[in-house]
């Protein structure tokens, strides 16, 4: 069953003329694109094209030397990652960044950190408001556990989980922050076909159920073409394509970037 | 419970002859006792009998409002969920017949059942099942309503025939309010002769057949079983086996209704072992592979334990294997052993049972396939009352059960109360008569007539023998059973199973029908024999090389001779001792057509492909040259040449068992 036409909304985040360099290395050059509400946008490109750098700029980890990022109609000044998180931008990482010794549940609970209000004192007493708050957040996390079907590993330390499940836990933690914009850095790298199918379904479900806007980096073209509404193509730090999957697939510049051209 | 015991024919003393009448009784007399539990969002949620009854009535009203009528079929597909059990009860309340389908069936299999059963309604768990049904919808014109219990992902599905079960329940409450007394009247209209359920048997041969069971079948069988095992409302079960299997339907749903005990639905299929520990059932059924899994997990975890714990474990398990079963069965045991066992209970057995979730277990059954005596003994040694059960869908679950004090690992026990058994003298097939005898196969009178004779005896298709103490032993499928030239019964699977319980033997094929003695092919288990070779400093280059080693032959001969000794102790099986055997140079493989995909031996293929080897077993020659065609994984084929040795094993004359 195909879902009815998706209701893609206004511009959520606008990137204008971003340039980023590390010393003499130009990671990003004059990049502009926009992410609209409720869409799934894929950023693709060969290795070293600047995809992860782009995500790092959006989430405030890198600070571009030039250009502006407008998020929810507001031009962003220099921003730190935790401020981006407060504004509703959550992400997962290319190399899993979970707390290996903590259980799945605890890892997901850390995603609720910014939503917790009890201070040091009330938390230390625990009974009363802090306990109520804890229960509330736990319930939210349990909904995510149910959603991503990871009940069986709730109490297992994530270090003991296989790779595909760790990726899923990372997604769960990002979702726990109730993000408006979810950045996924290669959510399917290193997965087998079945794990990829599961992950695709979860990404589509998150997008559909919670209306979360998703910006993802992915190498598997099959996946990208299947699930994204729009694709942005980077190569050597420049944008060489932007459009719906079919357009991008047939664009000569993109084909050249992927297959190489004779000079 | 006085309310269920007493009647030798299993009829209910209070006159409750259908499952919905038990629900109504429980709602009245056990209003606040827990009836069902399910883990949701990490917390166990309970529904009392009063609440369950109210839900079932509302749901029944909703289904009636949608047009469900007496005699209609309702297909039910999904994991064990309270909502689906309610749908089953609601259908039965209206006189409709639930037809559960295995939740992992592919669309085509579901199509066959719905089509054959002419189901008008489907109640399913979630989007996955809805998608399957929608993919075959154009071939199912009779299907009118699909109701689902989990709405996730189904928001955009606009089809008018799709209903959320919660909405159906809500409409049902309104319907019932407008028609007071409707549900009560419908329940009262039901009688014991009405069909309670149609279970489609998984169908290893041909298309699945719909086994029709009446309320009388299930109620009377349940009453007898409940009295036999003294089940009562304080018991707890874990409902985790497929709802479409008659065993789950009977052991969880029917017996829960009859006794009023609480059934617990696991959070998901992956969490069963964790849920087992949290629930701590008192009554538990599991096929042999689950017991095997539990044992393997324990053994592996013990390997990683500290030296003190490991030694303590092995000491006390050794003691338990010696004394535990006798203590459990109330037989005499030396005082020192008894004291040590009590200490072991505190130090090892108690904590171990607690970790596995078996602390409160009072009654456990295994059935389905042969269970390794080692595994079976292990659990009984721990003081767990594990017993065997034998039965099939056609008899409403059980025919034979062990009693608590008389348990033999390789029998399935004496005939259960109310069951008459006899063994066909010509074929060795087990025939039965019981209150649970099925009504017939749905829309398949030919098959019914073939299975059910005019005088009420039913063919099980299994061959069995009675042991000297009156227990039934199932030896094989009746069609595979043959005779040696001296007329003695020969059941290949019985012999093969005995061989396969040895870790070194992966597969065995026994021959003997129409021959003067029994002979066997053995497949070694590469992992087990390989590590045995490593420990014994035996080097080898390949599977075929290892299989041909004289040391390996000696190892296998040891196993066979132990089997022979075992067989010799049983008068009906002593002729089946293995005289000659050979170790095959290659593994039997499903890719080569020698095994089925479920790893059952294909006798005809093997007889054809290895004809020369079989002749060598019987001609007395010491070895035979083989040339085999092998299919590689990439599809290429090659040939393989070797000289296989045929070895002889000692056989034993019949001994009388001591005691």
% of chain A beyond a pLDDT of 90: 47
Q: Which residues contact A105 (CB under 8 A, 6 or more apart)?
A: A141, A145, A154, A155
| CA-based R_g, chain B, Å | 27
CA distance linking residue B50 with residue B30, whole number of Å: 7
Q: Does B267 sit within 8 Å of A1, measured CB to CB?
A: no
Cβ separation B42–A1 shorter than 8 A: no
Edge-to-edge strand list for the sheet holding B97-101: B97-101, B73-77, B121-124, B145-148, B162-164
B contacts of A4 (beta carbons < 8 Å): 156, 158
Q: Would you list the DSSP string of B236-250?
A: EEE--S-TTSHHHII
CA nearest B151 in A: which residue? Answer: A209
Q: Do A209 and B153 touch (CB under 8 A)?
A: yes
Write out pLDDT tens, residues B479-514.
888 889 988 889 999 999 899 888 899 999 999 999
Q: Is A6 on the interface with B (CB under 8 A)?
A: no
8 Å CB contact of A149 and B268: yes
**Treating both helix axes as pointing N-terminal to C-terminal, what angle do B288-303 and B373-381 enclose, rounded to 10 degrees?**
70
Write the pLDDT tens digit of every residue in B508-557. 999 999 999 999 999 999 888 988 998 889 999 888 889 999 999 999 99
Show residues of chain A in contact with B40, CB under 8 Å: 146
A5 in contact with B, Cβ within 8 Å? no
Least confident range of B78-92, B175-189, B275-289, B558-572:
B558-572
Mean pLDDT over residues A185-192, rounded? 87
Q: Where are the alpha helices (DSSP H) in chain A?
A: 51-58, 81-86, 104-110, 120-125, 129-147, 163-176, 193-210, 221-227, 245-250, 252-259
Length of chain A equals 263
Across B498-617, the runs of DSSP E, i.e. the strands, are 505-511, 518-524, 578-583
Taking Cα atoms as reference points, which of B260, B306, B335, B289 lies closest to residue B36? B260
Percent of chain B with pLDDT over 70: 97
Give residues 5 to 44 of B whose Cβ lies within 8 Å of A. Answer: 39-43
Answer whether B535 touches A (CB < 8 Å): no
Over residues B281-305, the mean pLDDT reads 89
Residues of chain A with CATH 3.40.50.300: 1-88+179-263
Choose the mutation target among A146, A155, A200, A209 for the interface with B, i.e. most B CBs under 10 Å. Answer: A146
Under the banding of pLDDT at 50, 70 and 90, the label for residue B1 is very low
Report pLDDT for B655.
Answer: 54
B270 interfaces chain A, CB cutoff of 8 Å: yes
Rounded to an integer, what distance in angstroms lies between the CA atom of residue B506 and that of residue B526? 8
- The candidate with the shortest Cα–Cα distance to B124, out of B247, B49, B135, is B135
Q: What is the pLDDT of residues B137-150, one digit of tens each?
A: 999 999 999 999 99
Contact map slice: A 191-230 vs B, CB within 8 A: 205, 208-209
For residue A103, what are the β-bridge partners?
A157
- A1-88+179-263: which CATH topology? Rossmann fold (3.40.50)
Residue with tokens 């609601």: B90
CA distance B127 to chain A (A): 10
Confidence band, pLDDT 50/70/90 cuts, at residue B654: low
Contact at CB, A3 and B156, closer than 8 angstroms: yes
Note the pLDDT of residue B315. Answer: 95
**What three-state secondary structure class fits B75?**
strand
In angstroms, the first-to-last Cα distance of chain B is 37
Q: How far is A236 from chain B (nearest CA, A)?
A: 39
Chain B CB within 8 Å of residue A3 CB: yes
**Least CB–CB distance from B270: residue in A138, A151, A209:** A151
Task: State residue B656's pLDDT score.
Answer: 47
B155–chain A nearest CA distance, Å: 9
pLDDT tens digits, B28-48 = 999 999 999 999 888 999 999
CA dihedral A68, A69, A74, A77 (to 10 degrees): -60
- How many cross-chain Cβ pairs, A to B, lie less than 8 Å apart? 38
**Summary count for chain B: helices (H), strands (E):** 24, 28
| Beta-carbon contacts of residue B27 (< 8 Å; ≥ 6 apart) | B49, B50, B52, B53, B54
Give the Cα separation of B88 and B75 in Å (integer). 9
**Lowest-pLDDT range of A9-23, B32-46, B200-214:** B200-214
Verify whether the Cβ–Cβ distance A149 to B153 is below 8 Å. no
Render pLDDT for B354-366 as a digit per residue (tens, 0 to 9).
Answer: 999 999 999 999 9
State the Cα–Cα distance between residues A132 and A124, nearest whole angstrom: 14
ipTM (interface predicted TM)? 0.80
């Amino acid at each position: 069953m195909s879902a009815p036409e998706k209701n893609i909304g206004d511009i959520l985040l606008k990137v204008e003329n971003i340039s980023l360099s590390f010393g003499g290395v130009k990671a990003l050059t004059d990049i502009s694109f926009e992410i609209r509400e409720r869409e799934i946008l894929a950023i693709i490109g060969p290795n070293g094209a600047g995809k992860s750098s782009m995500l790092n700029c959006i989430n405030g980890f890198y600070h571009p030397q030039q250009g502006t990022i407008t998020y929810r109609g507001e031009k962003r000044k220099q921003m730190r990652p935790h401020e981006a998180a407060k504004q509703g931008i959550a992400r997962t990482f290319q190399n899993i960044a979970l707390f290996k010794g903590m259980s799945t549940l605890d890892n997901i609970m850390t995603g609720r950190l910014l939503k917790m209000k009890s201070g040091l004192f009330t938390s230390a007493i625990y009974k009363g408001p802090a306990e109520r708050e804890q229960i509330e957040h736990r319930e939210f996390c349990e909904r995510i556990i149910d959603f991503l079907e990871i009940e069986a590993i709730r109490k297992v330390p994530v270090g003991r989980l296989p790779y595909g499940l760790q990726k899923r836990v990372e997604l769960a933690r990002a979702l726990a922050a109730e993000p408006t914009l979810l950045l996924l850095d290669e959510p399917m790298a290193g997965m087998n076909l079945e794990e990829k199918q599961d992950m695709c379904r979860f990404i589509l479900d998150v997008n559909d159920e919670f209306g979360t806007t998703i910006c993802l980096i992915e190498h598997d073209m099959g996946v990208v073409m299947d699930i994204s509404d729009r694709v942005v193509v980077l190569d050597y730090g420049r944008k060489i394509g932007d459009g719906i999957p079919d357009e991008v697939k047939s664009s000569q510049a993109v084909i050249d970037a992927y297959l190489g051209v004779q000079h | 419970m006085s309310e269920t015991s007493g009647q030798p024919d299993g009829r209910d003393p209070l006159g409750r002859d259908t499952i919905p009448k038990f629900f109504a009784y429980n709602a009245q007399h056990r209003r606040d006792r827990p009836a069902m539990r399910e883990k949701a969002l990490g917390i166990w949620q309970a529904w009392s009998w009063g609440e369950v009854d109210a839900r079932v009535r509302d749901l029944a009203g909703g289904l009636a409002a949608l047009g469900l009528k007496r005699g209609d079929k309702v297909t039910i597909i999904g994991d064990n969920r309270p909502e689906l059990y309610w749908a089953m009860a609601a259908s039965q309340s209206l006189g409709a017949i639930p037809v559960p389908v295995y939740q992992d069936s592919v669309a085509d299999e579901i199509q066959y059942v719905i089509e054959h059963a002419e189901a008008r309604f489907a109640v399913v768990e979630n989007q996955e099942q809805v998608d399957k049904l929608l993919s075959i919808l154009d071939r199912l014109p009779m299907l009118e309503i699909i109701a689902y219990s989990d709405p996730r992902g189904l928001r955009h599905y606009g089809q008018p025939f799709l209903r959320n079960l919660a909405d159906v329940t809500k409409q049902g409450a309104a319907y019932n309010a407008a028609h007071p007394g409707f549900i009560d009247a419908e329940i009262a209209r039901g009688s014991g002769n009405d069909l309670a359920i149609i279970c489609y048997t998984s169908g290893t041969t041909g298309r699945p057949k719909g086994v029709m069971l009446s309320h009388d079948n299930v109620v009377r069988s349940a009453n007898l079983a409940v009295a036999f095992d003294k089940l009562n409302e304080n018991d707890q079960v874990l409902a985790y086996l497929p709802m479409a299997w008659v065993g789950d339907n009977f052991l969880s749903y029917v017996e829960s209704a009859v006794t009023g005990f609480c059934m617990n639905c696991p959070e998901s299929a992956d969490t069963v072992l964790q849920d087992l520990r949290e629930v701590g059932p008192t009554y538990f059924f599991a096929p042999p592979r689950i017991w095997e899994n539990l044992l393997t997990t324990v053994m592996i975890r013990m390997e990683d334990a500290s030296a003190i714990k490991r030694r303590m474990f092995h000491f006390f398990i050794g003691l338990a294997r010696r004394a535990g079963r006798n203590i459990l069965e109330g037989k005499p045991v030396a005082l020192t052993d008894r004291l040590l066992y009590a200490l072991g209970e505190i130090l090892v057995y108690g904590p171990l049972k607690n970790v596995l979730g078996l602390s409160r277990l009072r009654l456990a059954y295994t059935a389905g396939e042969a269970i390794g005596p080692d595994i079976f003994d292990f659990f009984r040694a721990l003081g767990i009352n594990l017993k065997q059960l034998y039965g099939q869908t056609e008899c409403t679950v059980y025919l034979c059960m062990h009693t608590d004090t008389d348990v033999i690992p390789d029998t399935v026990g004496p005939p259960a109360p109310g069951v008459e058994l006899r063994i066909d003298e010509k074929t060795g097939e087990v025939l039965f008569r019981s209150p649970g005898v099925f009504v017939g196969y749905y829309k398949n009178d030919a098959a019914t007539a073939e299975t059910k004779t005019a005088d009420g005896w039913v063919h099980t298709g299994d061959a069995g023998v009675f042991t000297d103490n009156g227990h039934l032993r199932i030896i094989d499928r009746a069609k595979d059973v043959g005779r040696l030239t001296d007329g003695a019964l020969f059941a290949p699977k019985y012999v093969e199973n005995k061989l396969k319980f040895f870790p070194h033997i992966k597969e065995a094929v026994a021959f003997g029908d129409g021959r003067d003695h029994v002979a066997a092919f053995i497949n070694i288990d590469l992992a087990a024999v390989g590590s045995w070779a490593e420990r014994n400093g035996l080097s080898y280059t390949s599977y075929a090389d290892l299989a041909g080693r004289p040391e390996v032959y000696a190892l296998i001969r040891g196993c066979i001779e132990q089997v022979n000794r075992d067989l010799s102790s049983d008068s009906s099986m002593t002729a089946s001792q293995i005289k000659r055997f050979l170790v095959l140079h290659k593994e039997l493989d499903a890719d080569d057509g020698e095994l089925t995909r479920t790893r059952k031996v294909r006798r005809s293929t093997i007889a054809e492909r290895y004809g020369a080897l079989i002749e060598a077993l019987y001609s007395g020659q010491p070895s035979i040259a083989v040339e085999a065609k092998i299919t590689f994984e990439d599809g290429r084929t090659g040939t393989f040449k070797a000289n296989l040795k045929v070895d002889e094993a000692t056989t034993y004359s019949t001994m009388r068992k001591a005691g």
